[in-house]
Chain A
Amino acid sequence: MNFLEAFRRPQQAHALLDRILQSGASRTFRFMEVCGGHTMAIWRYGLPNLLAPSINLLSGPGCPVCVTPNGFLDRAMALSRQPDTIIVTFGDLMRVPGTSSTLLLEKARGADIRPVYSSRDALNMAHSNPERTVIFLGIGFETTAPTIAATMQAARQMGLKNLRLLSALKTMPQALRAIASGGEVKLDGLILPGHVSTITGTPIYEFLARDFSLPCVVSGFEPLDILQSLLMLVQQVQEGRADIEIQYGRSVRAEGNAKAREVMAAVFEPCAAEWRGLGLIPESGLRLNSKYQQMDASSLEVEVEPAREHPGCRCGAVIRGAIRPDECALFGASCTPENPVGACMVSEEGTCAAHYKYKSLDPLA
């Protein structure tokens, strides 16, 4: 069985769309899709045009590349200039501008920076380069944190002394609280991240329904998943409910994945974290715990330039859902996917990149 194509059938998409537009005919709705993966799928399949004008979708803070502040990138680049150092990173970070450079530019200048698909790849690199320090750049949310934790555990079992982690890992609940309580955008409900929830389960979201009366649906990533989730949200609003519902049952159990959380808890502890657009949020990041301190690259001494953001860049407001990308003066002018100024234009799943790439697409016939 193919678990992708069956969730992309156009006739069924139109049937769900009819239901959404019928159920919601009386008013307009504003929903936020929290996860960058959803943003990408929503635009790729032309859903905004199909749903307008009754359903408006805003992108949230769930794009790890977008919320990673310049200071982290500047430190990574400073480390890359140290002798006998290999920087290993998810490819997504390569083109993200820091204060005055990018990892891609540093690589062109001779630094040993290696984009990979998985943190597992760093194990081999550390093993085959015992005389060099291998630093993995850890970005991501609860989906990715357990995978990096498993890699750190494996490094310890293998006795690798030269693998280190520079962590900008983040967790969703406090950022969602900041959005919900910020009052900057009035939302009718949230599409919650499917793969974060695969790990965390739904208890971490209960405050959204309880304290903010926000209807929430944990959604899959195929177009039919997203349309069904929107229908479930519209129905919650119409019925005056605010519940945490799961549409993506094939991956998300209410209790999440306890084993993955155990691995994560064995390696990481919560810490304050800096989010582009949201600022410093207590308890919203993950750092290595005392057992893994010798693997922490944040303790390596290196001179880092003072971080500055581009003065015209409005990625922060885009991440909070406060403005649409085309309300930024740089959008499509000096900031394009080929020449990005801000992180939201770099990442495949950044809101600005999605708007730029797919805005003019006609809805699928």
Chain B
Amino acid sequence: MCLAAPMKLESFQGNTGIVELDGVRLQVGLDLIEHPQIGDYLIVHAGYAIQKLDPEEAQRTLDLFREAENSRRS
């Protein structure tokens, strides 16, 4: 139920945006987030963006995975 996917904001007008993931496009409400910008990755749930994805935090998490992988090899 609480499923949500990171989708890229392609365009928007007022509180309605078009987001895209793997070629799938969806109209979503932007009523619940502050200052959307084209190119933002949005966490989309039930037709609304519920948060902006933080790419730096995502990278930090991926770095931890890589570190685990590297230390296993060494």
Contacts and interface: CB of A to CB of B under 8 A. Distances in A.
5 contacts: A9-B69, A15-B71, A143-B2, A147-B45, A252-B51
A341 B59 CA distance: 44
A235 interface: no
Given A3-B6, A3-B53, A12 B69 contact: yes
Contacts of B34: 259
Contact of B46 (A7, A144, A199, A260): A144
Given A6-B62, A250-B54, A257 B6 contact: no
A4 B21 CA distance: 10
A1 B55 contact: yes
Interface residues of A, number: 61
Main secondary structure on B side of the interface with A: mixed
Contacts of A347: 1
Q: Please report whether the interface of chain A is mostly helix, strand, loop or mixed according to DSSP.
A: helix
B47 A92 contact: no
B4 A259 contact: no
Interface string B31-74: 11110000001010111101101110110111011101101100
Contacts of A4: 5-6
A119 interface: yes
B12 to A, nearest CB: 14
Contacts of A259: 32-34
A225 B62 CA distance: 9
Contacts of A260: 32-33, 50-51
Contact of A36 (B2, B29, B46): B2
